[in-house]
Every structure is written in C-alpha cells, then in structure tokens.
Amino acid sequence: MIVDCAHYRDGKRQHEDAIEPERAAEIARAAAEGEFIWIGLHQPEPGDLARLSRLFGLHELAVEDAELKHQRPKIEDYDRSYFIVLRTAHYHEEEEQVHFGEIHIFAGAGYVITVRHGPGSELATARKRLEARPDLLALGPSAAVWAIVDKVVDDYLPVVDGIEDDIEEVEDEVFDDDQPAPTARIYHLKREVIEFHRAAWPLLNPLDALERGAYFGVPDELRRFFRDVHDHARRIDEQVNSQRELLTSILEANLALVSVNQNEVVKKISAIAAIIAAPTLIASVYGMNFADMPELDWRYGYLMALTAMAMLALVLGVFFRRIRWL
Amino acid sequence: MIVDCAHYRDGKRQHEDAIEPERAAEIARAAAEGEFIWIGLHQPEPGDLARLSRLFGLHELAVEDAELKHQRPKIEDYDRSYFIVLRTAHYHEEEEQVHFGEIHIFAGAGYVITVRHGPGSELATARKRLEARPDLLALGPSAAVWAIVDKVVDDYLPVVDGIEDDIEEVEDEVFDDDQPAPTARIYHLKREVIEFHRAAWPLLNPLDALERGAYFGVPDELRRFFRDVHDHARRIDEQVNSQRELLTSILEANLALVSVNQNEVVKKISAIAAIIAAPTLIASVYGMNFADMPELDWRYGYLMALTAMAMLALVLGVFFRRIRWL
Amino acid sequence: MIVDCAHYRDGKRQHEDAIEPERAAEIARAAAEGEFIWIGLHQPEPGDLARLSRLFGLHELAVEDAELKHQRPKIEDYDRSYFIVLRTAHYHEEEEQVHFGEIHIFAGAGYVITVRHGPGSELATARKRLEARPDLLALGPSAAVWAIVDKVVDDYLPVVDGIEDDIEEVEDEVFDDDQPAPTARIYHLKREVIEFHRAAWPLLNPLDALERGAYFGVPDELRRFFRDVHDHARRIDEQVNSQRELLTSILEANLALVSVNQNEVVKKISAIAAIIAAPTLIASVYGMNFADMPELDWRYGYLMALTAMAMLALVLGVFFRRIRWL
Amino acid sequence: MIVDCAHYRDGKRQHEDAIEPERAAEIARAAAEGEFIWIGLHQPEPGDLARLSRLFGLHELAVEDAELKHQRPKIEDYDRSYFIVLRTAHYHEEEEQVHFGEIHIFAGAGYVITVRHGPGSELATARKRLEARPDLLALGPSAAVWAIVDKVVDDYLPVVDGIEDDIEEVEDEVFDDDQPAPTARIYHLKREVIEFHRAAWPLLNPLDALERGAYFGVPDELRRFFRDVHDHARRIDEQVNSQRELLTSILEANLALVSVNQNEVVKKISAIAAIIAAPTLIASVYGMNFADMPELDWRYGYLMALTAMAMLALVLGVFFRRIRWL
Amino acid sequence: MIVDCAHYRDGKRQHEDAIEPERAAEIARAAAEGEFIWIGLHQPEPGDLARLSRLFGLHELAVEDAELKHQRPKIEDYDRSYFIVLRTAHYHEEEEQVHFGEIHIFAGAGYVITVRHGPGSELATARKRLEARPDLLALGPSAAVWAIVDKVVDDYLPVVDGIEDDIEEVEDEVFDDDQPAPTARIYHLKREVIEFHRAAWPLLNPLDALERGAYFGVPDELRRFFRDVHDHARRIDEQVNSQRELLTSILEANLALVSVNQNEVVKKISAIAAIIAAPTLIASVYGMNFADMPELDWRYGYLMALTAMAMLALVLGVFFRRIRWL
C-alpha cells in the first residue's frame, strides 16, 4: 500500500496530500539539487513495487530483495542509486520478546522510496521530524535516508533497555534462594540478544562508510549526522555484547547455584534421616528378646527409653542446626 | 560422465543437443566476446578430465585437485583461466544430517567446465535459469559461473532452515520436564553446524573478491549479481554463527536443567524415605519389650498406634507437598 | 552550574576569579596562539549549555549529546572544534561497586568547556595540576584536554586496584573449605568488570588517534603526553581483560569446588548412615522370635549384643575415617 | 650425518653418488640459473653444520637456530638467502599420539641444505618426486624448497585423519551408556589438537607470502605450486580448528551425560531402597507388642503379612519401572 | 644504585672500572658513530635518576614512568632517544609462582642507561655476552638494547618450561583416581599463565617494529638479531596461549571427573546400604509376633534365618561387584 507520496523542494513539502507516483516520477527526473520525492509504502502488494520499479528504474536485484524480505542490513550501491535494508526491532514487554521488522529504502537522484514490513519504527514520525528541519530537508534524498536510519537506531534503545531490565530481574531470581532456577528464561533472553545482535550489528559497517563519506551524494554537513547515528548504533552494539557476556555468566552462576542448592537439600535430608534413624536404633535395642535385659523390668524403663530417644533426636537436631545442615 | 556440452552465442544456445568436446574446444579457441562453451560433468571417470584437460589446456594442479575431491571452497587464478571449488550442501530431513557434495568449475576465455560430485545442487536448473536470461548469458563464461555459485548458495538456505527447525525442536525438548535431556542430539546438531560452517565460510573471501572486481573478465553488470550472492552467503554465515552460539548455550542450559532435575528427584526420594521411616520408628517403639508399657495393654492401643503412624505419614506427605518436595 | 571560567595566556591564569561567559567568548574569538578560556560546568541546568552554545557556536549534535548523557567515550571532530566524551569511574569500597560519571569536553580555537556529570574525577585537581605547568598550559586548549583525560585515566587506577583486591578476597573464599561458595559475589564482580571495560575501552581508539596526531591543533610536544595517557589506558584495559578472564576461571573453579564439596558431604552422610544401620541390623536379629535362640538365654547375652553393636559402630567409624569419608 | 649431496643442472641430477661438500660449494658459487646443489642432513653432528656454514656462508643466527631445534615454523630472509623451519608431524596409531619432528632448510643462490630432526616426513621421497619432474627441477633451489614443504604439508593429512577417527570413536564412547565417560581420552585428544595447531598454524603466513611472491627468487610458475601447498595447509588448519571446537563440545556433552547418568543411578537406588523399606515397615508393625492385635492370632495372619509385604514390593517395583526409575 | 658505568668504543670497553656519570655524559655528547656509554642501575634511589636525567637530558615523562614502575612493556620514541620498558620473569620452583621484575632502558645517541627493579634477568650476563662480540658492540647503543632484550626474552624460556612441567603434574593429578581434584592448583596455574601473558605479550608489537626497522638508528645487521628475539618471543607467546587453552580444558575435565567420581561414591554407598537393609528386613519379619509362625519353632529356624541373611548379603555383594558398584 502506498502510504504517502510527497514532493520536497527547498526544504519544504510542496503539496499537503499525496501525489500520484507517475507525476512523482516526472518530478524526480527533473529534480534540482535538494529537490526530491519521498514515497512511503507499508507492506506493499506485488503490483506496487513493480509499478514503482518501472517508474523510477529500480534495479531488478534490489526489487527482488525487497520482495523476498528477510534480508540482512546493508547498503548497496547501484551506480549512484542505493538500496538500503534496515531491520527494525520492537520489544514486546509482556512476551519478553523482540519482534523484528524490515525497512527497505531505494534512494537515488530526486527520489526516496521506503518500504516497511512488519512491526516497529513507524516512519511517519521520522518524516515529521525531518519536515521540522527545513535546513536538513533541503539537503535532498540523503537527508531522508538519515531521518529513517536515525529513527530505526533510536528505536533500538528501548529494546536494549527492555532486555537490560529483564537481565536484572533474572539476576534477582538467580540469587534468590526461594525462587527456582530460571534456566529457561536466561536461555530465552540470550536467544533474544543473539538475534538482536544479528539484526543490528551488520549495520555498523555501512554506517561507518556513510560517516567516512564513502557513498556519493551525501553532503558533508549530513555526514556528521550519520556519524551521530553510527555512534548510537555502536553504543547499542557494545551494550548488546556486554549483555551477551553477562547472560553467559548468569547461566554459569545459575549452574553453580543449582549445585549449591542441591548440596543444601542433601544436607537437610541427611540430617532428618539421622534424626529418625538414631531413635529407631534405640527402639530396636529394646526390642531384642534377651532373657536378661534389666532395663526392661525397670519401673521407668519405658519412659527412660522414650526420653533417651527424644533427647538423642533433640541433640542431633541442635547439632545439625549448628553445622548448618538444617 | 559428460552430461551436457552446449555452445552459447549472443545469449542463446546454438544446438539443442550436446556437441562433441573436440568440436567444442575448437569453438572455444575461436570464441568471440560473450560466446562460450559450457560442458557439464557428473562424477567423471578418470579419462574424462584428462581428455578435457588436453583439449582446453587446463592446468595440471587444477586437474589434480578436481580428481582428489575434498577441496576447500576457493577460486584460483591461472593466468586468466580460473579453477573454482564450491561445496554443495543438502539437508536430509529424516537423518537430521547435512550431506556435502562438491562442484569444481574450470572457467576461461570461451569455456566453462563444471564437475559435480556427490549429492546436492543439481546444475541443470542453474543452466535453465541462465538460459532464460539472454541478457546475462550474453555476458560470457562469468555469467555461467555466477549462475552456478548462485544456485549453490541458494541451496544452502534450506539447510540452515532445516537446522533452525531442529534447534527449535531441541529447545522444546530441553525445557520440557517430561522429556529426557537431548544431549546427544544437541551435540550432533552442533557438529552439523560446525561442518556446514567449514563448507560455506571459506567462500566468503573469493565472493568478496568477485564483488570488488578483483578477477579479470567479470563484466561490471555481473559484479552486482556476484554482490547479491555474496550478500546471501554472508547472511547464511551470520545465521550459522548464531546457531553455533545458540547450541553452545543450549548445551549449557541443558546441563543446568539436568542438575535441577536431579535436585527434584533427590527431594522426592527423600520425602518418600521420611514418610516410610517415621512410622517405622513408631512401630519400633511399640516393639520394645519393656515390662511396663501401658499403651500396650490399652484396648485401642494397636489402633491408636496404627492411626498415629498413618497420621504421621499423612502430615509428612502434606508438608513435603507444601515445600514442593513431592 | 558554571563552576569556573578562567582566561589563560602565556601559561598563566589572567584573573583569579571566574569571568562572565559573555566576556570569555569575546576573548576566545580574539585568542592568540596558546591563549584560551576554560569554562567548567558541573551538572549544568538546561539553560547553561544553551547559553554557551550560543556564545561559542557549539554544534547542535554535540550539545544534544551533552544533554542526553549516557554517551560512549569518543572524540568527535566538528571542523576543528571537538566534542569529547569521557566516562569517569569511582570505586565505592563498601558497596564493592563502580560508580560511573561522565565528562563532556567542547574544545575549539581559544576555548575549552568541560561538563561534568555524576561522581568521580573532580576536575579542579586537573586544573591545578596544569596551572602548575606553565610550559604545557601555554600550548593552548589541547593542554587542557590532556590534563582532563590524564586525570580521568589516572582515576581508573584505584578502580582496577579495588577490583583486584576483591578478586583476591574472592579467591580466598572460593578455596577456603569453611566458607560458602561466593557465586553471587563472583558474578557481581564480573558484572563490574564488564561494565568498566565498556566505559574505558572505547577510549583507546581516540587516544591512539591523538597520539598519532590525527587531530588538528595538537602540538607535537603534547602528543607525547597523550601517548603517555594512551599507554596508561592500555595498561588498564589489559588488566581489565585479565580480570575478566580470571573471573571466568574463578566461576569455573567455584563450580568444581561446589561439586567436590558435595562429594564430601555425601561421603560423610553415608558413613554416618552405615554406622547407625549396622547396629540396627544386630538389634533386629535379636528381636527375632525364634523359639530356639541360645544367645538370648546367655547370661551376658544382652551385654555382648550391646558390645558387638558398639564395636561394629567403632570399627566402621575408624574405617570411614581412614578412607577419609569422615 | 650428511645423507646426500647432489648436483642438479637443467632439471637433471649430474652424479648418481653424493659428492663432497667442498666440491659442492664450488659448484654452488659458480651455479648458473636453475643449477643447484642439494645437501641433505639427518640429525647432524655438531661439526657437520659448522663445516657447511663455513663452505656456504650461512648466517650465524640461522645456524644457531638449526642447532637449538624446537623452533617455530618460519621463513627468514638473510639478504636473498633463506632459513626455513618446518615442523613435521607423524601420527602414531597405537599411542594415539602425534610425534613432531623438525626440518630446517638453508636455501640460497645455487644451494639448498636440508636438516631433518626426529621422526616424520622423510625427504628422500620429496627428492624422488622432484627428480621425476625435470621441468620443475630446472627452476632451481626454490623448486626443492617447494618439494619439501609440499611433502611436509601432505604428511599432515594422515595426522588430521587419525585424529578425526579418534574423535569419532570418542563420540561413540560418550553417547554409549554402557561405556564409562572417556574424559581423559577427550582431554588428551584436545591436547594433541592444540599442539598440532601450534606446529602447523605459523606456517600459513610464510606460505601466504610465498604465494604472493614476497620472497625473491621464486619463479612465477612455482608460485602456483606454493599456492597449492598453502591451500592444503589452510584446509588442514580449518579442519584442526573444527576439531578443537568439536572436542570442547564433546567435553561439555560428556559432562552433561555424566550428570544424566548419575541421575539414573540415584533413581535406581531410591527405588530399591523403597522396595526394601516398605515391607520392613509392615514387619515392624507386626513386631509391636500390643496386647490386643487381632491379626496376630489369625490363622493365616503370618501368611497374609508375608503376602502383603511381597505384594507391596511387587507393586512398588512395577510402579518404579513404569516411571522409569528402575 | 649505579652498578656500572662503562665507555665502549670500536667494540671494546675503554676502562675496566666504572667511570663517573658526569664524565660519561661528556663522552656521550661527543660520541662518534658506534661509541657509547652504558650505565647500569639497580633499584636506584630517588636522586640517581634525577642526576642522570639532568646529565643526559632524559624526557620527564620517561623518568616519571621509570620512577613509578609497574609499566607495561613498550618502546617510546622521544625524538631519536628511546624509553624502553621490559618485564622480566623468574619462575620460583618451590612456590610454583612467577615473580616479575622490570627493566627500563633509556637509549639515545651515545648512551644507554638501564634500570633494573626486582628479581630476574641480571644484566651483567647480557653485558658480558655483548662484550664477547666486538663486531656487534661496535654497532653502538642499539646493540646494547638488543643484548638486554635478548637476555630478557631468553629468561622467559625457563618460566614457560616450569609452567609446562606443572601442567603435566596437574594432568597426572586430575586423571589419577586416588588423588583429590587439584582445582585450586589448576586455577593458580592459570592465573600465573594469564599474568605471564600480560607481561610478555605487549612486547611483540615493539619487537615487530624493531624487526621492520621502524625505529631510527638500528643498523640493518642488527635488525636480524632483533628478528631473532622477536621470533623467540612469538614462540613463547604461542606456547603461553596453548597453555592457557590447556588449563581451561583441564579445569573442565577436572569438573567432569569430580562428577564421575561422585557417581562412583554414590553407587558404592547404595550397594552397602542395600547389603545392610535386606538382612534387616528378614530380621524384622521374624520379629513379628504372629501366633502361628512355624519357622519360629523349627529346630534350626534361627540358624536358617541367620544363614539366609548372610547369603542374601553375599549375593547382593557379588551382584553389586559385578555391575561395578562396589
């Protein structure tokens, strides 16, 4: 579905409403420096891309990739027109899961076409933010690219923070004796982190290239803005790496604590067993059938035996409590 | 066995049927730009390669490698003729095993010779696909090389997906209490992943060189297609690396869960032991032979004893259930 | 809050008291080689940065970063003016925790503006130290930058040393049989080390660039001083990496020792159980009701049985002590 | 001991028998392009090297290294004469151990001197193989170097294959319930792999340099042959790395299986204990001395008790078998 | 303390006795090519360095570092004068500990000043060795630097060998059933290796630079000697890395063996428990008070019961021995 189709010149949007792609393509062909068309698609139908491909002369390989989805983040240069793949991430609080989406950008002289799949990183806000900055908007299509990449990377932050919160919860669970070992949760968090890393990490190299000005048509002033995005992306990547390492350590600590815990259980059990077995021994003794067992005939023999048994149990109980087995 | 021997000119196959290699070699020697011979071999007999080597002047080291098999993926430059080794992969669903094959390509001015060993990546489809694209076919031998590499890398995808499915199954097994720990299966999956990585990873460098145009005779238009393949290969490699890390984590989580599980067993056992041992203690007490044990002569003494034993067992049962040992 | 605003010329402070930022900006604009303004802010209010940004023409992205905090360490070049982010670290002995703060530096021709957030690395000392070195002070703003970076990196040292001490304590705990396994403490130490690494490590690249003279306006003489800081930072980074590896090993050793310890407990328990069970068996034997059990009628039968039971317990006790199960 | 001393010219050996080193040195000094002397030593006595050093002007550092042995693989350039160290490997099937030897090569204009220490990679075969290829032999001393390196790397293959076989055996042992955990064997295999990696890996860089033609005096035609060797060495290195990772995983899987196994044992034991303890409880009950225990006087009381005990044991046995504890 | 102060010219020491530093400084200033002063200090007092700094114009940062100690190995270039830090290592056999010391070298045109702290690598031997080689000595100050670095790196060898021996001892302990698990020792060895790596590894880069001739004033002939040292240092570094990996594997193998061992203990205990519990059950049976228990009145009833008990214990003992639980 074509969501919007705007014409920007001199840092200002020319028509409030979306224009027709055919008209837009004409404008794009004749666009002056800094003038451009921005077409936004959301989960396009098969025909949409084909139509735009014809109008704007998009490269077949790029269009094929955009149709297939599940691409890795990248920037591909097709003779001064670019195909960019970004992966969006959205943290679903309740499921404790990261949902991934994709944004594909076709950018060339005079036009930017964005295709969004799945959840995360709505582009309307990116567009609004850029429209509020006529100075940047006037720099042409690469400003739109920046606005989108900036939005996508900014939206990674709540994801990392959400994972960070979960890690802290998991730490509490691991080191709290009364809660069962959260092995499954640790593992699923680690899976999330690994997948998120795979979504965000490949973006670093193209961003580095953008910062260094390796791509044609990026105004110098904008390179600083790409450097800013690159810096944020790197910060997120470093945090994700730390989280990965932390989760590995938590898994190990968890394992050690499971063993420590088992040790405690074994000690407790053994103490109880001893407390039952010792009086049983006494009872067995007085259950023997020897003809001559003086205690049996004592007046308070039975009472004494019971007392002895209770005392023994008590002494053992205190002893085991003292050596912390109980 | 020589499977096919075709003559391509101006993007079209010249004869429907296979031609004789001797005739093909003559054509290759006189080939114009974009004209070439494509000879396909499948598990060739010793004589086949020797014959083609004589006809097309293949380098002895390349021929030796092609005969030996079990090569690592690589592209070797012999003065503008190339020897390429690819490893094909096929995922056998039932055995949960990856089967590997090999494809060797000799490519030079005017000819492409492909040698296929073992299962996976049938080249007939690659040939069909390329013949449907006269524009690419007209670019000469490197187009054929692209078509083959593209096919091989595309065929990696179902392998990675198959492994991904198995990993998800294994996750379910690990975190399902009622199933035994699938240690052996995890290990064998990891072995598959390591071997698959070894088959696919060495391809990345030569593909990068192809993308960058480091090899002579690759038309610029085709470099984009090689970049596309390179990108797919990288995506697969990144996924394989994630899988490797996931499997390591699963192995660790599995270990922790085995310990947790053992803990549960020990608790259950201990509870049962206590439930049996406590009444036994009571029975032992009334088995003592003291002369003066008033309870023994009570009317309902026996009943009371039995009741006490049952009650004690019940209380313990409830208690252990409450602390979740039962 | 603006803490200080000084004017330096020819290696000397010009006014004892802080001057007004507006006046300072004028001086900065007209500053000769080596003359500069140093403004120090501590947890500035929103208006402070905006005011200085207007006066000194700071770049909007840099100001935005300085307001957001939680930046990664970096040096950003804005056409010969620089924005530098440093992370300060302070080790809190009692909590065994590293507290992190941030210092942002805006440096350009004729001015240095420092913004400090959170605890750690008070800059007054850095200023004092630099004022005591007129030769360096006369080298201009980059000398101030050096003084600050030097102070920040110097303040990392007590952090690493504090962690080193904790690691040694933890080692003692791990290998001391009488203390419980300090799993939680090891984990928290590792977390500290990972976070500290994340704070300090990204500084290495910019420091390397400073040493190599990649930034404009750093006098040659000062490059040696930056090399000195770089060297210290690298030393700290290497030590942090060692600590990370050590803590991983401690976690593993801890796990092994927990298992060893459990083994000891199981052996002890089993020995005790056997010592109780064996006499119980004897007692049970003499509790049998056979008509013809000669021992029952022996005069010292009962005494002999008791002696046998005691002897058996003793023998078992000695035996288990000898095989070190007790 | 000097094993052989041959004079090669135009791709042919000049004398069947070994010539005197003094004579050889004269020939070497006057050697034409592609003419050279090949002297082979095996575990030389102190004097041998000194004598050759004098005759051929070998560099003192190279000679010192050759005398010391235990060098790391390397190629050292002494002004157009070279000192090469190779580590040979031989897999001893029965001991499951890799034995390492060393080959030192001094190569310069007109001469190649090879010194072999310890087992592995006999050079006579390398010499034979080269003599069968007059076209390569005519390329001079670097052809001899290639023949030796080729032989050494070829001889790595059976080593890797031997280790691969052992790994497969160890896998079977690990996953076979009836065999004890082969921890020691896994560890020793890993040690072998680490040591072998250390012997083979440092060779990759010099081979890469040879392939790229970084060393003077290597004819272009020969560079392809060195590339071939390099490729084999890389294949071996990749396989060794996979083996290292596999062995780490096996060690982990082994640990998990030991725990699983222990779990099985604990369950079995507990089931047996319960099967004994429950009838004991019944027996204890009827061992009580209450005056009024009607069952005691029943005609088939005893039989019923015995039956009850047997039934109980049976029921428990069936139950434990059903929950797979027995 | 100034240990020695020698004047070398034309490869020969000029005075047998140490000369005054002031005199030495004069000579250094007027030194011809290859003529130089070598001053050796051992744990200098505060004044010593200040004095030499004044006389030879050492850079303040270098002097500061030399006073602080605990530097990382490095070579710092101060406009053609150099400050070099080396870490010496000495293996203390009995404590199984590596003791580290430091050597600081100030080298410039006409002088070399060495400062030694702590144990290890006495420099007198290095000086002797160099004096025995007038050809090298005549190459000037860099020859002295080489002699010292060579000595320091040579002294690493016994350290690595000592650790290697300990690793082998630890392996024996781990795989010997009768010895307790040497967890603490493994950990301490690993700590040693990590620390030693930290001391030796940073030297590789400067040595590489020396080999490549990146530093001014190193004669070509000497570069080979530095290459030789570099090669030895790399060999040691590779061995240290192997040791690190080995120790990690040993720790894991140790953990697995502790578990295996625990399994053995549990089996043994259970067997013993069953052997006691089964006869106890029999005894309990005949302790029942049923009126009609024919066996009780049999003549050899008691004997039969005892025999049954003994037989049962024996049968169980044999059984458990056969399944290797005893």
Among E144, E147, E143, E138, which residue's Cα sits nearest to residue E34? Answer: E138
Q: How many CB atoms lie within 10 A of CB E84?
A: 22
D270 min Cα distance to partner chain B (Å)? 6
User: How confident is the prediction for chain B on average, in pLDDT?
Assistant: 89
Chain C interface includes E150 (CB < 8 A): no
Pairs of residues, one from chain A and one from chain B, whose beta carbons lie less than 8 Å apart: 131
Q: Give the sign of the dihedral formed by CA C175, CA C177, CA C183, CA C189.
A: negative
ipTM value, please give it. Answer: 0.83
Cross-chain residue pair A262–B257, CB shorter than 8 Å:
no
Residue E202 per-residue DSSP state:
G
Highest mean pLDDT pick, B120-134, C109-123, E222-236:
E222-236
Question: How does residue B120 score in pLDDT terms, banded at 50, 70 and 90?
Answer: low
pLDDT at residue D221 in the model: 84
Would an 8 Å CB–CB cutoff place C186 in contact with chain A? Answer: yes
What pLDDT sits at residue D209? 87
**Residue C280 at interface with chain E, using a CB cutoff of 8 Å:** yes
Determine the pLDDT at residue A120: 64
CA distance C13 to C128: 11
Residues of A in contact with B235 (CB under 8 A): 71-72
Whether residues C288 and E293 touch (CB distance < 8 A) is answered with no
Within chain A, where are the H helices?
A: 21-29, 46-56, 60-68, 123-131, 134-137, 141-154, 156-175, 183-200, 204-212, 220-285, 294-297, 301-322
The average confidence (pLDDT) of chain D is 89
> d(Cα D225, Cα D145) in Å, to the nearest integer?
11
Q: Residue E280 and residue C278: Cβ atoms within 8 Å? A: no
Residue C61, CA distances (Å) to A11, A154, A211, A228, C53 in order: 20, 14, 14, 7, 11
Task: Say whether residue C318 is in contact with chain E using an 8 A CB cutoff.
Answer: no
pLDDT band at B314 (very low <50, low <70, confident <90, very high): very high
Measured in angstroms, the CA of C92 and the nearest CA of chain A are apart by 20
Hey, is the C-beta of C304 within 8 angstroms of any chain A C-beta?
A: no
Q: Is B290 on the interface with A (CB under 8 A)?
A: yes
B256 and D CB contact within 8 Å: no
pLDDT in tens, B224-260: 899 999 999 999 999 999 999 999 999 989 988 888 8
Which residues of chain E are within 8 Å of residue D299 when distances are taken between CB atoms? 292
Q: Which of A18-22, A211-215, C13-17, C251-255 has the lowest mean pLDDT?
A: A211-215
* pLDDT, position A293: 86
Q: Chain A residue closest to C65 (CA)? A: A228
Asked if the Cβ–Cβ distance from D255 to E252 is below 8 Å, we say: yes
Dump the DSSP string for E147-189: HHHHHHHHTHHHHHHHHHHHHHHHHHHHH-TTSPP-HHHHHHH
**B252, B257, B284: residue with CB nearest A283:** B284
Contacts of D181 (CB under 8 A, 6+ apart): D173, D174, D254, D257, D258, D261, E256, E260
Please name the residues between 196 and 255 in chain B that touch chain A, using a CB distance below 8 Å. 224-225, 227-228, 231, 234-235, 238-239, 242, 245-246, 249-250, 252-253, 255
Cα–Cα distance for residue pair B104/D65, rounded to 1 Å: 43
CA distance D67 to chain B (A): 36
By CA distance, what is C270's nearest residue in A? A270
Q: How far is C74 from chain E (nearest CA, A)?
A: 24
- Whether residue B288 lies within 8 A of chain A, CB to CB, comes out as yes
pLDDT reported for residue A274: 86
pLDDT in tens, D271-309: 888 888 889 999 999 988 888 888 888 888 889 999 999
Residue C179: burial class (beta carbons within 10 Å; 0-12, 13-18, 19+) = exposed
- Among C205, C255, C259, C300, most A C-beta atoms within 10 A, so best to mutate, is C255
Query: How far E248 CA sits from the closest chain D CA (Å)?
Result: 10
Q: Assess B124–D contact: CB distance below 8 Å, yes or no.
A: no
A119 has pLDDT over 80: no
Instruction: Give CA–CA dist B21/E107, Å, rounded.
Output: 72
Could E272 and C267 be called an inter-chain contact, meaning their C-beta atoms sit closer than 8 Å? Answer: no
Which among C272, C283, C286 has the least Cβ separation from residue A274?
C272
Among D231, D239, D290, the residue with its CB nearest the CB of B302 is: D290
DSSP secondary structure of C102-141: EEEEEEETTEEEEEEESSS--HHHHHHHHHT-HHHHTT-H
Q: Say if residue E120's pLDDT is above 70.
A: no
Contacts of B261 in chain D (CB under 8 A): 263
CA-to-CA separations, A244 to A249, B170, C194, D185, in angstroms, rounded = 9, 21, 11, 32
CA dist., res. C206 & res. C203, Å (int): 6
Q: Cβ separation of E191 and C249 shorter than 8 Å? A: yes
- Tell whether E195 lies on the interface with C, counting CB pairs under 8 A: yes
Helix pair C141-154, C156-175: axis angle to 10 deg:
10
Q: Per the CB < 8 Å rule, is A249 touching C187?
A: yes
Question: What number is the average pLDDT over the span A255-274?
Answer: 86
d(CA C252, CA C183) in angstroms, rounded, equals 10
pLDDT tier for residue A69 given thresholds of 50, 70 and 90: confident
- Which pLDDT score is estimated for E161? 92
State residue B178's pLDDT score. Answer: 76
E271 CB burial (10 A radius; 0-12, 13-18, 19+): buried
**Residue in chain B lying closest to D177 (CA):** B184
Position E249 scores a pLDDT of 92
pLDDT in tens, chain C (326 residues): 788 899 999 888 998 888 898 999 999 998 888 899 999 999 888 788 889 999 998 988 888 888 877 788 999 888 878 999 999 998 888 888 889 999 999 999 899 999 998 876 678 889 998 999 999 999 989 999 999 999 999 999 999 999 999 999 999 999 987 778 789 999 999 999 999 999 889 999 889 988 887 787 788 888 889 999 999 999 999 999 999 999 999 998 998 888 888 888 888 888 888 888 889 999 999 988 888 888 888 888 889 999 999 999 999 999 999 988 88
Rounded CA separation B271/E288 (Å): 27
Q: Which of A60, A68, A72 to mutate to test the interface with B (most CBs of B within 10 A)?
A: A72
Cβ neighbors of B91 (< 8 A, separation 6 or more) are: B97, B98, B99, B158, B159, B162, B163
**Between chains, do C187 and A253 touch, taking CB under 8 Å as contact?**
yes
**CA dihedral sign of residues C277, C278, C279, C281:** positive
**What's chain B's length in residues?**
326
Which residue from C minimizes the CA distance to A222? C61
pLDDT for position A186: 93
For residue E204, the tally of other CB atoms under 10 A from its CB is 15
Cross-chain Cβ contact D249/B190 below 8 Å: yes
CB–CB of A123/A151 below 8 Å?
Answer: yes
Q: Cα B174 from chain centroid?
A: 20
Tens of pLDDT, residue by residue over A280-321, are 999 999 988 888 888 888 888 889 999 999 999 999 999 999
Q: Is the pLDDT of residue D212 over 90?
A: no
Q: Is D289 on the interface with B (CB under 8 A)?
A: yes
Q: Does D72 contact E249 at a Cβ distance shorter than 8 Å?
A: no
Global pTM reads 0.88
> What is residue A299's predicted lDDT score, i.e. its pLDDT?
86
The per-residue pLDDT for C120 is: 64
Inter-chain residue contact D266 with B266, CB threshold 8 Å: yes
Q: Chain C closest CA to A34's CA: distance in Å?
A: 22
Please enumerate in sequence order all residues whose Cβ is within 8 A of that of D65, keeping only pairs 6 or more positions apart, or say none.
D71, D83, D85, D104, E228
Q: Determine whether the interchain pair B258/D253 forms a contact, defined as Cβ–Cβ distance below 8 Å.
A: no
Please judge whether D290 and B286 are an interchain contact, meaning their C-beta atoms are less than 8 angstroms apart. yes
Mean pLDDT of A80-99: 88
Q: Helices (H) and strands (E) in chain D — how many of each? A: 12, 7
- Neighbouring chains to B with at least 3 Cβ pairs closer than 8 Å: A, D
Neighbours of chain A (3+ CB pairs under 8 A): B, C
Q: What per-residue confidence (pLDDT) applies to D120?
A: 64
Sign of the Cα pseudo-torsion (E33, E37, E42, E44, in order) = negative
For residue B173, pLDDT over 80 is answered with yes
Tell me the pLDDT band of B308, cut-offs 50, 70 and 90.
very high
